[in-house]
Amino acid sequence: MYSPLGKPFVILHFCCNPSVQTNHGRFLSSLGYCVIGSNNGFETIELSASGEIDAVVLELDRNHSDVLLIAREIKRARASLPTIVVVHATQTRDGLDGLADALVPEEMGSGLLVKSLEEVLARSRKGYFPLPDTAPAKKQIGDKGQVSIPA
């Protein structure tokens, strides 16, 4: 996926699980995104502060408080940087409202992650990124795991 300048969007992907990070990174790369992987919270915060990152994907795995801290620091440094948190069914989502531009249930698969990524990038680029579905959105996770983003 390309930015208005014709360059691939740069996605910073934080995950402590190397196999998940590799799988998501390969999948997003195959769609044309430039993916930078990180399993270090300090590195993720530092990289996100640079102007080179277009969006951040944080995998909420075993340590909820680390991801909350990382998301909080990212938003403090660059409030407008689109941030998506991938959550698992059994995990608490406490504290993520206001920090995540989208919450994506891991169980719904990579397709929903890509759709959410396209939506938050479109909103951050003020319409430069075309979307097939332009229906108004709400921020919630529905009964079937749909994620929607506030207008």
Query: Helices 110-124 and 18-30 sit at what angle, rounded to 10 degrees?
Result: 60
For residue 2, pLDDT over 80 is answered with: no
**Residues in the chain, total:** 151
pLDDT at residue number 99: 81
SS3 readout for 10-67:
EEEEECCCHHHHHHHHHHHHHCCCEEEEECCHHHHHHHHHCCCCCEEEEECCCCHHHH
Q: Each residue of 72-97: pLDDT tens digit?
A: 999 999 988 999 988 876 566 666 76
Report, as an integer, the average pLDDT of 130-146: 41
For residue 126, pLDDT over 70 is answered with: no
pLDDT at residue number 33: 92
2-6, 30-34, 92-96, 113-117: the lowest-pLDDT one = 2-6
The amino acid that residue 119 corresponds to is: E
pLDDT band at 46 (very low <50, low <70, confident <90, very high): very high
For residue 35, pLDDT over 90 is answered with: yes
Report, as an integer, the average pLDDT of 132-139: 40
pLDDT at residue number 13: 92
CA 12 to chain centre: 8
